[in-house]
Structure 1
Amino acid sequence: MRKVNRRRFLKQSGVATVGMAALAGCTGDDGNGDDAGAGGNGNGNGADDGNGDAGVDYPTQSITMTIPFGEGGGTDTFARTVGRAAADFLDEPIEMQNESGAGGLIGTQQVFRQEPDGYNMVAFNPPSTPMSWFIQQPDFEIGDLEAVCTIGRFPYIITANSDYEVEGFGDLVDRFEDGEFSQIAGQGSGTLVDVVARVLRDEVGLAWNDYIAYEGGGEVTQAIMGDEVSVGIGTDSGALSGVEEERMDPIAIIPSGGSAVFPDTETIAEQGFADEGDNIDLLAMLQPSWYMPPGTPMEVREIVSEAAREGIDTDEVQQFGEDSGNVVEHSGPEEAQEILDEVLETIPEVVDIDELREDA
C-alpha cells in the first residue's frame, strides 16, 4: 500500500503563487500586476500586490465531477461522499453527473476534451478505466490527464445470490464444473472486470462459459440480487447493499490484501486457489482517483486535492468509512500520477491486449 500523503497544500486561502502562464490565463491575471483576477478587486484574493505573488482566485464557480459509471456502484459512492465534503472547503459546489459507457471511457473522454480551467474533473479507478482504454483504443491519451488525488482503495470480490447458499470459493468452483452455474456477471466486455474474470477462469480454475456484461457495478449487484445471473464480480463497497439485504453472499475476496468491507471473507489465496503476488493482485485492487484535463495547472489541482484531504478528515466521511468498512485515504497529485503511470506501464506486461481486443 502506498504511504498516505498528508501534506497540507496551500493551507491559507489566497496565498498560492502563480508559477505558470496557464494559471494566469485561468484566473484572468495577465501577469502585469494590475489585474485583480476573476472576481477580484485589486487587493483581495486573486489580486497581484506588486511583489510578484499572485493569489489564485479559484474556484469562483461550481466544479463538475463526471463519474463515468452508473449510479450506485463503488466509484459513484466514493466520489459523491468525498466530493460533498470537499465542496465545503472550496466554498463552491461540486456537481456530480454520471456519464456511463465503454468501461468508463465515454465520461473520461468528455472531461479530457474540456478546457483546463479546473472546473471539470473525472473520477475513475486505476487500473479499471486504463484497461478499457488499452482495449478499446479511443482517440485520446488517458496518460495525459492531470492527476488531482486518490481518495481510497477497494478490491474486487466474487458474490453469489444468497438462495444458492454457496459455501466458499471451492464450492463455487465445483458448482461451475458440475454445470449448475455457467454464467458470471461483470462490467462491460473488454473492461478490467472482464479481464479479472478471464484470469479467474484461465489461472484459478473458475470454469464459467458466458460473461454477462452490465454497464456498472450497481447493475451487476441488481442482476445478482434478482438472479438474472447467479454469480458476479464487483467491488466490495458496491456489493455491500445486496449483502446487507441478505440477497447476496460474499464468496471470496480476489486480491490477497483482503477487504475492509468484508473482513471475515477469505481471499482466494487464503482458500488455496491462488498465490499472493499473482497478476490477479495487480488487477483486482482499485484506487479511486480524480483527474482533470491535460494542461490543468498544478496550483489548481493542489487546491482541489487539499479540499479532498480536508473532506476525508471530516466526521461525515470518517463515519462513512467506518460504517461501510471502506478504506478512505488521501494522497496528492504526484502520487495519483504515479499510480496512473505505473498502471499504463504494467498492464501490457501482464495482459494479452490483442486477445482481449479481438474478443471485446
Structure 2
Amino acid sequence: MKSLRRKRLLTKVGTVLLISGLLGACAPAQTAYHPSGNGIIDVVVPYGTGGGTDTWARFITPYFATMQDEVNRYQVENIPGGESITGTNTYVTTGVETGDQVLVASATTYFQSMLGHPAAEFQFSEMEPLVFNGTGAILWTGDRSGFGSIEDLLNSEEEALYGGMSATGLDLVPLLALEALGVPVRGVFGMEGRGPSRLAVQRGETDLDFQTTASYLSQVQPFVETGEAIPLFSVGILEGDEVVRDPNVPDIPTFEEIYQEYGGKTEEQRKAYEAYKAFVTPGFFFQKGLWANSGTNSEVIDQYDKMVGDLNADDQFFLEAASALGGYNLLSGKENREAFRDALKLDPEVMTFTNELLAEKYGAPVHG
C-alpha cells in the first residue's frame, strides 16, 4: 500500500524539478544604482513579496532606521528570479560601498554560490555581512510512516520518502544528514512550501519532513503530544565552535548526537557528513542576513555591529520580534564574518560528492 501511494505521488510531482527557470538568472554585466533619495537606504530583496525573507527584511529594517539619525527609512525593492540569483547579481554589480544600498540574502542565495552555479556572479566569502539571524530546524515523521525512530529508518528495507521544495535549497541539509547516517531515502520535490510538505506527511503521502523550529512548534508539536508526529533530530544551534541542543526544543537530540552514535560507517557517509557541516552553518546558524558589498566603509560595518548589540539588549524589541526572528537573537555580521566564511571553504572532494548526489540521485545537476 505504501509503495502504491509513493508511486502515485512520484508520478504526480516527480517531474517538477527544482532548477527550472535558473537559466534566466544572470543579471546584466553593469547595473546602475539609482538612489531613492536622501535619508533612504535601498534594500534589495532577491525574492518575491510575502515570503519569509521578504517579511524578515520588512520587519527588521525599520528598527535600524530609528537608530540612525541620518536615515529616515529603508526602501525595499524585490527582484525575484533564478532562486534569488537575479536580484543578488543585480546588487553586487552596482558595487555600492557606502551603505546606501544593502542586500538581504538567505540560505538559498548562499547555496547557489557554494554550489558554484554558473549564473551566480557573487561570492559571499568576499562580501561584508552586517547582520545575521539564525534559526533551528527539526526532521520529523508521522505515525502513518511506520518509522518511529532513527533505528527504524536505518533498519528499513524500504526507502523512506522525503518530500520538499528543492534539493538545492534548504532541503539539501536534511538530505545530506540522512546520507551521512546511511538511511535509505529518496526525495520528491516541487512542493510549494513547508505547509504542503508537512501536510504530505500527515496524510501519509511522504514519510519525512523538515520544518524550522518556529513552524515545528506551532504546526507539528501539537501532534507530537497526541502521538501522531515523532521528532527525529534537530540541527541544534552554534555555541562558539560547538553545536548544542536548541533551547527552543531541548528534548530533541541534535543531528551531531545522532551521527556520533549511528553515522560515519563508510567513506560516502563521511563525505556526506562533511558536506552537511558545510551547508548547515550558512543554511541555519546564519540563515538570513543583511549584506554589503566588498570594500564597504568600516564605519558602516561598525554601526550595524553596535545596532545589533543594542537591539539584543532591548527586552521590548525581543518581545516584538519573537515571531519574526523565530526566538533567536540577531547576530553581528562583524563578529561572525570569519565563522561564516570558514563554512564556505568546501573541500573539492566534498563539493564533488554533493554535486554528484544532486545530479545522480535527485536529478538536479547544478551545472545544467
1:222 counterpart = 2:223 = no
Is the 2:153–2:160 contact (alpha carbons within 8 Å) kept by the matching residues of 1?
Answer: no
- 1:61 corresponds to which of 33, 40, 53: 40
Q: CA RMSD in A?
A: 3.9
1:262 counterpart = 2:243 = no
1:89 counterpart = 2:56 = no
Secondary structure of 1:250's counterpart equals strand
Q: Which residue of 1 aligns with 2:171?
A: 193
1:236 counterpart = 2:237 = no
Is the 2:80–2:86 contact (alpha carbons within 8 Å) kept by the matching residues of 1?
Answer: yes
1:113 counterpart = 2:113 = no
Rounded to whole Å, the distance in 1 between the matches of 2:229 and 2:49 is 20
Q: Which residue of 1 aligns with 2:17?
A: none
Give TM-score scaled by structure 1 length. Answer: 0.65
Residue type matched to 2:168 in 1? G
Is the 1:118–1:300 contact (alpha carbons within 8 Å) kept by the matching residues of 2?
Answer: yes
- Are residues 105 and 316 of structure 1, via their aligned partners in 2, closer, same or farther at CA, if it must alter by over 3 Å? farther
Q: Which residue of 1 aligns with 2:262?
A: 273
Rounded to whole Å, the distance in 1 between the matches of 2:188 and 2:82 is 16
Rounded to whole Å, the distance in 2 between the matches of 1:70 and 1:204 is 37
- Are residues 267 and 344 of structure 1, via their aligned partners in 2, closer, same or farther at CA, if it must alter by over 3 Å? closer
Give TM-score scaled by structure 2 length. Answer: 0.64
Residue type matched to 1:199 in 2? L
Q: Which residue of 1 aligns with 2:310?
A: 310
Rounded to whole Å, the distance in 1 between the matches of 2:126 and 2:50 is 23
Rounded to whole Å, the distance in 2 between the matches of 1:325 and 1:143 is 24
Secondary structure of 2:167's counterpart equals coil
Residue type matched to 1:154 in 2? T
- Are residues 229 and 88 of structure 1, via their aligned partners in 2, closer, same or farther at CA, if it must alter by over 3 Å? farther
- Using the TM superposition, give the Cα deviation of residue 204 of structure 1 relative to its aligned residue in structure 2, in angstroms: 0.6
Secondary structure of 1:189's counterpart equals coil
- Are residues 351 and 139 of structure 1, via their aligned partners in 2, closer, same or farther at CA, if it must alter by over 3 Å? closer
Q: Which residue of 2 aligns with 1:289?
A: 289
Rounded to whole Å, the distance in 2 between the matches of 1:342 and 1:204 is 24
- Using the TM superposition, give the Cα deviation of residue 89 of structure 1 relative to its aligned residue in structure 2, in angstroms: 1.2
Is the 1:72–1:238 contact (alpha carbons within 8 Å) kept by the matching residues of 2?
Answer: no
- Using the TM superposition, give the Cα deviation of residue 338 of structure 1 relative to its aligned residue in structure 2, in angstroms: 1.9
Q: Which residue of 2 aligns with 1:13?
A: none
- Using the TM superposition, give the Cα deviation of residue 283 of structure 1 relative to its aligned residue in structure 2, in angstroms: 2.8
CA-to-aligned-CA distance 1:92-138 (integer Å, 9 cap, x gap): 33344555554443332232233514233223356x53332233222
Is the 2:135–2:326 contact (alpha carbons within 8 Å) kept by the matching residues of 1?
Answer: no
Secondary structure of 1:351's counterpart equals helix
Residue type matched to 2:327 in 1? N
- Are residues 209 and 241 of structure 1, via their aligned partners in 2, closer, same or farther at CA, if it must alter by over 3 Å? same
Rounded to whole Å, the distance in 2 between the matches of 1:301 and 1:250 is 39
Residue type matched to 1:167 in 2? G
Q: What pairs with 1:83-162 in structure 2 (closer than 5 Å)?
A: 83-90=61-68, 91-96=71-76, 99=79, 102-116=82-96, 117-125=98-106, 129-135=109-115, 136-143=117-124, 146-161=127-142
- Are residues 63 and 302 of structure 1, via their aligned partners in 2, closer, same or farther at CA, if it must alter by over 3 Å? farther
- Using the TM superposition, give the Cα deviation of residue 208 of structure 1 relative to its aligned residue in structure 2, in angstroms: 1.4
- Using the TM superposition, give the Cα deviation of residue 245 of structure 1 relative to its aligned residue in structure 2, in angstroms: 5.8
Q: Which residue of 1 aligns with 2:22?
A: none
Rounded to whole Å, the distance in 2 between the matches of 1:345 and 1:234 is 27
Is the 2:164–2:188 contact (alpha carbons within 8 Å) kept by the matching residues of 1?
Answer: yes
Aligned length: 294
Residue type matched to 1:109 in 2? N
Is the 1:148–1:304 contact (alpha carbons within 8 Å) kept by the matching residues of 2?
Answer: no
- Using the TM superposition, give the Cα deviation of residue 266 of structure 1 relative to its aligned residue in structure 2, in angstroms: 1.5
Q: Which residue of 2 aligns with 1:209?
A: 186
Is the 2:128–2:296 contact (alpha carbons within 8 Å) kept by the matching residues of 1?
Answer: no
- Using the TM superposition, give the Cα deviation of residue 150 of structure 1 relative to its aligned residue in structure 2, in angstroms: 3.5
Residue type matched to 1:89 in 2? M
Residue type matched to 1:63 in 2? D
Rounded to whole Å, the distance in 2 between the matches of 1:170 and 1:69 is 40
- Are residues 145 and 320 of structure 1, via their aligned partners in 2, closer, same or farther at CA, if it must alter by over 3 Å? farther
Any stretches of 5+ residues in structure 1 without a counterpart?
1-25, 29-37, 40-59
- Using the TM superposition, give the Cα deviation of residue 291 of structure 1 relative to its aligned residue in structure 2, in angstroms: 0.9
- Comparing 98-107 with 255-264, greater Cα deviation is found at 98-107
- Are residues 98 and 141 of structure 1, via their aligned partners in 2, closer, same or farther at CA, if it must alter by over 3 Å? closer
